[in-house]
Amino acid sequence: MAIKTKSLCLLVAMQEEASPLVERLGLTEIVAPFAKGIPMRAWSAAEVEGRITLVSFGADPRFEGVSNIGTQPAVLAAHLAIERFAPDLMINAGTAGGFSSRGAEVGQVFLSADRFGYHDRIVPLPGYDESARGNYRGLDVSRIAADLNLKIGRISTGDSLRTLQTDAEEWERTEPALKEMEAAAIAWIAWTRRVPFFAIKAVADLVDTGDTPTEVQFTENLGAAVAALTEVVPRVITYCLGAVVDDLAL
Question: Using CB under 6 A as the criterion, which residues of the chain lie in contact with ligand SAH when the complex forms?
Answer: 13-14, 69, 94-97, 161, 179-182, 204-205, 207, 214-215, 218-219
Minimum distance from CB of 10 to ligand SAH (Å)? 14
Q: Provide the 3-class DSSP secondary structure of residue 19.
A: helix
Minimum distance from CB of 121 to ligand SAH (Å)? 15
CB neighbourhood size of 23 (10 A): 11
Distance CA 190, CA 131 (A): 16
Inter-CA distances, 217 with 158, 176, 224, Å: 18, 19, 11
**17 counts as catalytic:** yes
Query: Would you say 13 or 177 has its CB closer to ligand SAH?
Result: 13
Among candidate residues 120, 180, 182, 205, the one labeled active-site is 205
DSSP state of 101: G
Distance CA 27, CA 126 (A): 47
Minimum distance from CB of 215 to ligand SAH (Å)? 6
Residue closest to ligand SAH when measured from CB atoms: 97
Query: Would you say 96 or 228 has its CB closer to ligand SAH?
Result: 96
**60 counts as catalytic:** no
Minimum distance from CB of 73 to ligand SAH (Å)? 10
Query: Would you say 170 or 180 has its CB closer to ligand SAH?
Result: 180
Residue 158: closest CA among 127, 175, 134, 125? 134
CB neighbourhood size of 149 (10 A): 7
Which residues are identified as catalytic? 17, 205
